[in-house]
Structure formats: structure tokens, C-alpha cells
Structure 1
């Protein structure tokens, strides 16, 4: 066989639609995307004209020399430029058992990584299609547990979907920029559990870093009730600037944290980033030299000034569309607001100190 992928052509529909021998097979292939069975070439081309733009969504035909033997689509999910999603996977039913399914999926994954710059490729497959599930697993896809199972009403039944993903690199191999593409910024309503999760993690950190006499605090927006926040618990750990910082790093990594950045008197770690996406509990631990703790003053000010906290929330929401996959840009765009609050807290502290001294 000499298999290649090429852009879909309208005349391909004359062949592809003949592979859909029953409505059951058709629904496994497209769920509710096509309204009626049988799907005609005119239906397929009309769908293409409406939903495939050649940029954010493309359709590809697999050919063996000149023979059409497979079809697949690739699209960019909204707001996730680092991800490509496969769909409408089908092969010539007369050639089953010859590895065409694995071949077309493998070629599409390679296309997504090499030509579209994807870090992750995802797809959904119905539970009642175990042959397809095994095919995707043989390529390297793994199942992903989602908070809510996607399902469709098909032929009078409810069909559940299995979510699957294929990652180009392991998390430890990704640059920070790639990680932020893979883990976009999202904001969630305040969750009272965040405070409890922070308390638990602070207890663990205090225990296994006890030889360094740390001061540990819950910081960031998850420590400010009433405003939306990234569902990531930020924790500040202060240790002596003369401590064995490499020893601290070793302890953190042994405990399961991943070092994100490291400098002379600052280190940053995360926990809860998985190949399947965010875990239920996600933590960023910031280790600073003792006294490097403006984050605490910022947290306290916003907790004491709910109106200002709401201004901060409004700012974050306004920045989200532009910086969803750019943590650096997002942080920098907030910096003037944050610095302004920090300056004010320092002025207030000087006033209070002066009054106490007088």
C-alpha cells in the first residue's frame, strides 16, 4: 500500500457515503451532525461548505495510490490553539483488517503535530464502538476522565462518549510556554473548599520542610472570598536566604512537586498538572526568601476592601480573552494594579508605624 493524506475534494463524497451501510454505523461516525440517513454526497458537501473553513477546520481524504480508502477531519477547539481535535474517522469497510484505521489516525496525529503545531490531539468516541477505541489506543491515545460525560440521543438510546487524548511530549519535557498552551487560564467562581485544600497542603508543606523552619501562607485569588480565580491554590513558603535551597528543591521534588522555575532566592513548584489536564486539586508553591512576601499584603488588602477586590476581578475577566494561553502576558497586564496596591499598603504601614512611634 502507498497511503497518503490529501485535502478532501467534493467528488470524494461519492465514495465515502457508500461506506455508511446503516444508520447505526452512520451515528457512530457522526452522532447528530447529519440529520438524516442515508447521507448523500450532496449532504456531505453541504456540511463541508458550512463547517470546514480550511484553517481552523480541515477535512482530509486518505488514498492508496488513487483509491479513496479513508476520511478524517481535524479542527481547532475554540480558544485552544495548542490542541487539535479529530473527528469523522472512517475507512473503506471493504478493506477492514488491513490497518487502515490505525494508519489514518496516526497520519492525522502527525499532521496535527508537524503542520499545525499542536501539543495535544483529542477525540471523542462512543462507548459502543470498542473496535474504534482499541484502534485509538494502539496509536497512543489514552482515556480522559471528564467531570461530565458527553452523551447523545441516538436511535432512541443515550450513547455515552469516551474522551481520549494524545500528548506530543511528557509534561516534564514541555517548556513553560508549552505548558501554558496545554493548561490555559480559566477563571472559576469562588469555591469555599479552596481554603480547606490550602490548609491541608500548608500542613503537609510545614511538615516535610520543617528543618527549614518555613512560614507558610495561602495567597492569590483563591484566598480572597467573593471573586473569581484560577482554580489553582497559590501557597507562599518563606525560608531563610541562607538555607540549602538545592536541598529544599530536592525535598519538594521528592514530595511530587514539579519545579517550574528557580533563581537565587526564589523557586516555584506545581502539583496537580497531569497528562489528562488539571487534577481536582492543583497547587502552585512559591518559595521565597524570608520577608519577600508582598503577596500577603496584597491578599490582606483585598480581603479588607471588597470593592477593590471586585475591581481586580473585573480586570482579570477583561484580560482573559487575550491572555488565555499566555501566563506571562496575563501576569504582566495585572502588574500595575498589583503594584499600586502594594505601594498603598506600604504607605499605610509607614503611617501606622509612625503613629506607634509617636
Structure 2
């Protein structure tokens, strides 16, 4: 499930970002988020992207083009649109679409920035992910549920450092 950091992940991100801009809107800001965006971190080999769209209509206007390029809607996330890219039935990328008004406060971006700047928390999160894999294998918890308390605590501190209130990280 988790693999060692792959130095090709940034290049894979760039290819997906270019594809999203071609199929969607060339003006969209696209950033690499998630564990594959943290140098040295073990991760599931799935590239996460944050895409800044102007508003819901901007996303809706380009959804069909994204679909034609191989992206499909599908996620349990309820707070923002998400599109998935698969290869041979295996998820290889997840694009999270945030409207401009939510962009600066998106906890996924805030967590990425914090982990890049705070290696001790990146290490702590990496260990939590490994523990989550073990808990899931023993049937004690799902992977996401097992790592969520550590993510929540780190995101709360990262948001506080920016003068932002705490928010629940669960969006499912």
C-alpha cells in the first residue's frame, strides 16, 4: 500500500497538471498536494492535485472536457468536486477542485506547506500512516480513520499559525 518516495512523482504531477489545464481551463492554478508532494515521504503511489477554479460554474463548464480526457467524478468527498484518473482500473491521480474563495483555507494545501516546512511533523505523519496500514490489516480501523487524529492535530496547528480557525479534516 505505502511505497518509498519516488523522485518521479513531481514529474508525474506536472504531466497530470498539464492534462487538467488542457482539458479544463488553461488559467487554472494546479498544485501538487498529498503525501507524494512531500519529498522523502512514503505514500500510496497516487498523485493528489489541488485545482483552483473560479467558482462552481467554472468547474461545471469544463467537467465534460475533463471526462473526455479520462478523468471521472467519483469520491466520497462532499465538500468539493473530486475527479479520479485511473489506469487499468487502478487509481493513479485524484484532482480536488476548490473554488477561489476556499483556496487559501484549503486544509490539504495548508497541511502540505506545513509538512514541507516541519520535518518533525512530516516524520510523525509518516509513522502514523504506517501505523494506519497495520491497523487496517488487522481489521481495527480503516486507513484514513486511523491516520486522521494525527492529521487533525497537525492541521489545527498549521491553521492556527496562519490565524485560521480549526476545521474538521474529514470531508466524507
- TM-score, normalised to structure 2, is 0.80
Which of 38, 44, 50 lines up with 1:236 in the alignment? Answer: 50
**Partners of 1:333 and 1:322 in 2: how far apart?**
7
Matched, 1:189 2:8: no
CA distance in structure 1 between the partners assigned to 2:80 and 2:158 by the alignment: 23
Secondary structure of the structure 2 residue equivalent to 1:210: coil
User: Per the alignment, do residues 323 and 252 of structure 1 end up closer, same or farther by CA in structure 2, a change over 3 Å counting?
Assistant: farther
Deviation at 1:263, TM superposition (A): 7.3
Tell me which of 151, 159, 162 is aligned to 1:338. Answer: 151
Deviations 1:227-271 (A, max 9, x none): 100011111112123424433321221111121138776222221
Where is the strand percentage greater, Structure 1 or Structure 2? 1
Shift of 1:334: 2.0
Match of 2:162 among 335, 349, 356: 349
Structure-2 residue corresponding to 1:309: 122
- Aligned to 1:295, which of 108, 112, 127? 108
How far apart are residue 335 of structure 1 and its match?
2.0
Matches within 5 A, 1:1-358: 186-210=1-25, 213-261=27-75, 266-275=80-89, 278=90, 282-290=92-100, 291-292=102-103, 293-323=106-136, 329-350=142-163
1:187 aligned counterpart, secondary structure: coil
Cα distance in structure 1, aligned partners of 2:149 and 2:57: 32
CA displacement at 1:314 relative to structure 2: 0.7
Return closer, same or farther for 1:305/1:244 CA change in 2, 3 Å cut-off.
Answer: closer
Contact kept in structure 2, 1:265 and 1:289, CA below 8 Å? no
Which structure has the greater CA radius of gyration?
A: 1
Alpha-carbon distance in 1 for matches of 2:162, 2:81 = 27
Instruction: State the partner residue of 2:169.
Output: none
User: C-alpha distance in 1, partners of 2:56/2:125?
Assistant: 35
Q: How many residues align?
A: 159
Runs of 5+ consecutive residues of structure 2 not aligned to the other structure: 165-172
Q: Give the helix-richer structure, 1 or 2.
A: 2
Aligned-residue RMSD, C-alpha: 2.5
Looking at structure 2, the residues matched to 330 and 264 of structure 1 have their Cα atoms a distance apart, in angstroms, of: 19
Structure 1 gaps, min length 5: 1-185, 352-358
The change in CA–CA distance for 1:230 and 1:240 in structure 2 (over 3 A counts) is same
- Distance in 1 between residues matched to 2:9 and 2:77, nearest whole Å: 28
Distance 1:242-1:257 versus aligned 2 partners, 3 A rule: closer
Post-superposition CA distance 1:125-159 (Å, at most 9, x none): xxxxxxxxxxxxxxxxxxxxxxxxxxxxxxxxxxx
Give the secondary structure class of the aligned counterpart of 2:157: helix
Q: Is the Cα contact below 8 Å between 1:270 and 1:283 reproduced in 2?
A: yes
The alignment partner of 1:192 has SS state of: coil
Which 4+ stretches in 1 moved above 6 angstroms?
Answer: none
